[in-house]
Structures are given as structure tokens and as C-alpha cells.
Amino acid sequence: MINRKDALEGLSIFVQVIESGSFSAAATELGHAVSHISKSITKLEERLGARLINRTTRSLSLTDVGQVYYEKARQIVGDAREAEQSIHQLQDTPSGRLKISLPNSFGQSHMQPVIRDYMLRYPEVKLQIDFSSRLVDLTGEGFDLCVRMGQLKSSNLISRKLLDFDFYTVASPDYLASIGSPQHPQELKKHQAIKYMYNQVPITWDFCTPEGETLYVEVENRVECNNLPMLKTLVIAGVGITRLPSYDCINEIKQGKLVRLLADYDMPTQCAYMVYPHRLHLSAKVRAFVDLALNHFK
């Protein structure tokens, strides 16, 4: 006969091992000895009659059966965690782990004050931050919330707008003095471009004519990279022309380090959103972070 207590503990330990990435990290997180973690996983596999984890001295990975079991187990453990969090919610005290995903440039340039204030206010929260420009799967990857830029696709996710922004075409005064300033987007083909890449693909430069038509301009790329701070460093140095979100270059324009070009051809304003899965009762840790971010950008 299966001991329900052992079964639930084994399931919870299994999920923690996968989330932590190792037996030792799971042991630290749960406050158990590594031997206890190992025995629990072994008992779980014996009870199921299947190997769930491939183990080596340096890493572990899920078997095909383990992947299927993990998806179900994670949901069960997640529901149990939410049940516990609901008790904390009654006390209105954010606690537990908060896992968030932030775009690299925006996260570093605009979210640092929010994160700093949040951690100082709520010492019971453990924060896990993923700085990445990829479109994360919130529910599938266990994220509590993320920040997304641009147009949102319709979904069952909740979104709250943080700010509006435009994409500016910019160059340094020295570069323009030596090469000249383009007066039309098509003239960019004669210039050296510093281009942002997303998922190894350079982003197309789109412009909107005064008549409302969209222009797609293929520029000559001198530099391609996926890091906005590097793009800004290179354009200020006079390497070429680039496009940057307005929030990332407005100060340099005011200081005269950069010159805004082709303002009559800007695309429509875009938005930065805070996005999180729908919850009938939002946990205190998520609600507190959302409120703090909205207040900061207000």
C-alpha cells in the first residue's frame, strides 16, 4: 500500500530537483541532506516503475517519461504552493519565490529602481530574474510575470501598460558631419547601419510615410548585435546610424551626443507592458510588484 505522505513528499522533491537543476541545490532549498533527496527520487522511480531522471556526475536531465511526469507534478505542486500562498495573502505579506522575465535593455535601464525598492520592502520574497529578449512561456516555464515590448497578441494573460515609446533613428553629430544627414528613409542605403538582431535575425527597419504607408528599408549592415547598450555605444562613437527605443536614447539626444533623424517617418508609438497569468486571486508577491512598477512609471 502506497504511503500518501511519502508519495506527496517524493513528488514535491522531484519538482524541486528539476527546478533547482541539481540534487545538492534542491537539498539546500528544502533544508534536507542530499542523501535524503536522492533516496526520495529513487523511491519515487521504484514506485512508478520508470526512470525519471538521467544522472551524471555533472548534470541531470529528464527522460521522456520524466518530462511527462514533471508537467503533471509541477501543476500539482504549483497548486499546493498557491494554496499555501493564499494563507499569506490573507495576511497581505508578500513571500515566497517571485520569478520574472525582463527584456535586457529595458530591464537594466528602467526596472532596477523597481526591483531595488521591492526587495527592500519585502524581505520574505526570494527573487529570480531572467534578463532575456526572448518571448518566454509564462505558465510553461513557471514565470510569475514578465515585461513585454510592442504590440501584444490576444491571449488569456493579463497586461498592464507601463509606458509608451517610439523608435528613433539616430546618429552622432561627428558621423553626420562627415557623411551627411539622410532626408528620406531610402537614403539610409547609402549609410553604415548598426542593426539590432532578435533570435539571430536582424530586425527590419520600418518607416511610416506622412501618407500612412509603411516603408521597409534594407540597409547595409556594418554591425549586427543583440545588445542595445552596445548599439548605443557604437552610434555615439560615430560608427554608423542605428535605431533605438526613445527611452534608451532621449537623454543622449538632449545632451547633444546623438541627433534624431527622419522624425517625420516614425512608426506608430509602441508600449511596454507588464504581463502575468490570469488569477482569480492574485498572490500578494505579484500584486505588490505590479503595484510598485505601475506607481514608478506613473
Say whether both 44 and 125 belong to one domain: no
The confidence score (pLDDT) of residue 1 equals 43
The values of phi and psi at residue 191, to 5°, are -110, 165
Across the chain, mean pLDDT equals 87
Any domain includes 231: yes
Q: Which of 14, 49, 80 is the last residue of a domain?
A: 80
For residue 224, give the C-alpha cell. Answer: 549586427
Task: Tell me the three-class secondary structure of the chain, residue by residue.
Answer: CCCHHHHHHHHHHHHHHHHHCCHHHHHHHHCCCHHHHHHHHHHHHHHHCCCCEEECCCCEEECHHHHHHHHHHHHHHHHHHHHHHHHHHHHCCCCEEEEEEECHHHHHHHCHHHHHHHHHHCCCEEEEEEECCCCCCCCCCCCCEEEEECCCCCCCEEEEEEEEECEEEEECHHHHHHHCCCCCHHHHHHCEEEEEEECCEECCEEEECCCCCEEEECCEEEEEECCHHHHHHHHHCCCCEEEEEHHHHHHHHHCCCCEEECHHHCCCCEEEEEEEECCCCCCHHHHHHHHHHHHHHC
Any domain includes 86: no
Domain span at residue 171 reads 167-268
Say whether both 150 and 195 belong to one domain: no
Say whether both 11 and 147 belong to one domain: no
Contact between 172 and 255 under an 8 Å Cβ cutoff? The reply is: no
In the chain the first and final C-alpha atoms are separated, in Å, by: 58
Does the pLDDT at position 291 exceed 70? yes
CATH classification of the domain holding 235: 3.40.190.290
Any domain includes 251: yes
The confidence score (pLDDT) of residue 119 equals 97
The confidence score (pLDDT) of residue 237 equals 97
Any domain includes 259: yes
Contact between 43 and 16 under an 8 Å Cβ cutoff? The reply is: no
Contact between 249 and 170 under an 8 Å Cβ cutoff? The reply is: yes
Model confidence pLDDT, tens digit, residues 179-237? 999 999 999 999 999 998 876 556 789 999 888 889 999 888 899 988 888 999 999 99
Model confidence pLDDT, tens digit, residues 26-49? 888 888 898 898 898 888 888 888
- pLDDT band for position 11 (50/70/90)? confident
Say whether both 245 and 172 belong to one domain: yes
pLDDT, mean of residues 75-81: 81
Does the pLDDT at position 2 exceed 60? no
Say whether both 177 and 243 belong to one domain: yes
Query: C-alpha distances in angstroms, 297 versus 13, 45, 99, 111, 157?
Result: 39, 49, 21, 10, 21
Say whether both 174 and 153 belong to one domain: no
> How far apart, in whole angstroms, are the C-alpha atoms of residue 124 and residue 112?
19
Any domain includes 154: yes
Say whether both 289 and 249 belong to one domain: no
CATH classification of the domain holding 117: 3.40.190.10
Any domain includes 117: yes
Model confidence pLDDT, tens digit, residues 120-179? 999 999 999 999 878 888 888 889 999 998 877 767 788 999 999 999 999 999 999 999
What is the count of structural domains for the chain? 3
Any domain includes 87: no
Contact between 294 and 159 under an 8 Å Cβ cutoff? The reply is: no
Say whether both 37 and 70 belong to one domain: yes
CATH classification of the domain holding 41: 1.10.10.10
Any domain includes 85: no
Say whether both 262 and 176 belong to one domain: yes
> How far apart, in whole angstroms, are the C-alpha atoms of residue 243 and residue 182?
14
Contact between 174 and 258 under an 8 Å Cβ cutoff? The reply is: no
Does the pLDDT at position 3 exceed 60? no
Does the pLDDT at position 116 exceed 70? yes
The confidence score (pLDDT) of residue 281 equals 66
> How far apart, in whole angstroms, are the C-alpha atoms of residue 137 and residue 174?
43
Model confidence pLDDT, tens digit, residues 235-279? 999 999 999 999 889 999 999 999 999 999 988 888 999 999 876
Say whether both 283 and 151 belong to one domain: yes
